Amino acid sequence: MMGEAGRCALDNDILIPRITGLDPSGPLFQGLVKYPALDKASAYFVDVIHTDTGKYGSKTSMGTVDFYPNYKKTNAKQPGCPDGKFEQLSPEDRCSHDRAVLLFCEGTRNPHTLMAAGAKNFDDWQKQNGTTDDINYIGPLTDFTVSGNYYLTTNSESLYSKGEEGLKPPSQ
């Protein structure tokens, strides 16, 4: 919906300064949503927090900046979310998807805390193992002058930030 809102605004010569995508719809919703997906052209700056890349959310980089908290190739479940099969759209089933909202709220309330490491992709993030000068923040301090993918690990509950330790990839 936000992608379409941005395009409608542009059609009327209005440039939205920023849109933050909170785990935008992924494969489960393909073909069900008639509007084009959120993308870099939806606003002057688009940042996206991907927290459920295995089910409700999209893996695809679609923003100016894309954040991937706790990303793993094999399991998109966020720390602290329950294991198992749950009724579709139940709170337990949505836990990883809903985490994007909680991370955005925490990043807004504590702007210097949810730091993420810039990397071309997940494999590069693993190789750099937290050593990078390319750091960005979830929330109001997201750097508008850069683009790319940013990775971080979080705690299983609020306060989610691990500080600099969160720049390191999860152990596989």
Task: Specify the CATH number for the domain of residue 45.
Answer: 3.40.50.1820
pLDDT band at 55 (very low <50, low <70, confident <90, very high): confident
Quote the pLDDT of residue 28: 55
Domain that holds residue 17: 2-167
Residue 52 to residue 85: CA distance in whole angstroms: 15
pLDDT at 168 over 90: yes
Query: Does any domain span residue 172?
Result: no
Domain count, the chain: 1
Query: Does any domain span residue 133?
Result: yes
Please enumerate, as own/partner, the contacts of 83-87 that have beta carbons within 8 Å and a separation of 24 or more: none
Query: Does any domain span residue 28?
Result: yes
Query: Does any domain span residue 135?
Result: yes
Query: Does any domain span residue 68?
Result: yes
Determine what percent of the chain is predicted with pLDDT higher than 70. Answer: 92
CA angle 6/51/167 to nearest 5° reads 110
Q: Which residues, in sequence order, are bridge partners of residue 162?
A: none
Q: What is the pLDDT of residues 101-132, one digit of tens each?
A: 999 999 999 999 999 999 999 999 999 998 99
Amino acid present at 5: A
Query: Does any domain span residue 137?
Result: yes
Q: What's the predicted TM-score (pTM) here? A: 0.92
Q: Which residues contact 160 (CB under 8 A, 6 or more apart)?
A: 69, 102, 103, 106, 114, 154
pLDDT band at 31 (very low <50, low <70, confident <90, very high): low
Query: Does any domain span residue 125?
Result: yes
3-state secondary structure of 172: coil
Query: Does any domain span residue 59?
Result: yes
Dump the DSSP string for 120-152: SSHHHHHHHTT--S-EEESSTT--TT--EEEEE
Q: Which residues contact 141 (CB under 8 A, 6 or more apart)?
A: 107, 111, 112
